[in-house]
């Protein structure tokens, strides 16, 4: 029963963060929201007994992708100020 409540909570939170990632005007908030979607989906994968998928999603989806997004944003801002 507790598994059902945790799964529903995670699903609602994933949907909420996905909507924030798509609709928000600030790009930093959108990137962080997309990272939290990946992080909470990896927790949901872990609860569904798929630890290999959960580790991959946590490492690549929430970790590496978020870092790459912020790195590219930093590079774009530096090139805009150099012009």
- Domain total for the chain? 1
Q: Where are the beta strands (DSSP E) in 1-83?
A: none
User: Which pLDDT score, from 0 to 100, does residue 23 have?
Assistant: 96
For tokens 């699903």, name the residue.
11
Pair of tokens at residue 60: 């690549």
Does pLDDT of 38 surpass 90?
yes
- Tell the residue number behind the tokens 């978020």, with chain if given: 66
Q: In percent, how much of the chain has pLDDT > 90?
A: 82
**Closest CA relative to residue 59, chosen from 75, 80, 38:** 38
**What count of other Cβ atoms lies within 10 Å of the Cβ of residue 51?**
11
User: What's the pLDDT score for residue 41?
Assistant: 94
The residue segments making up the domain with residue 48 are 2-82
Kindly report, residue by residue over 69-81, the tens digit of the pLDDT: 999 999 988 777 7
Whether the pLDDT of residue 83 is over 80: the answer is no
């Amino acid at each position: 029963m507790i598994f059902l409540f945790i799964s529903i909570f995670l699903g609602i939170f994933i949907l909420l963060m996905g909507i924030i990632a798509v609709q928000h005007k600030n790009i930093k908030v959108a990137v962080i929201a997309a990272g939290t979607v990946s992080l909470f989906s990896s927790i949901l994968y872990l609860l569904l007994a798929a630890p290999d998928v959960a580790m991959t999603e946590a490492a690549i989806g929430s970790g590496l992708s978020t870092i790459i997004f912020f790195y590219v944003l930093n590079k774009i801002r530096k090139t805009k100020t150099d012009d």
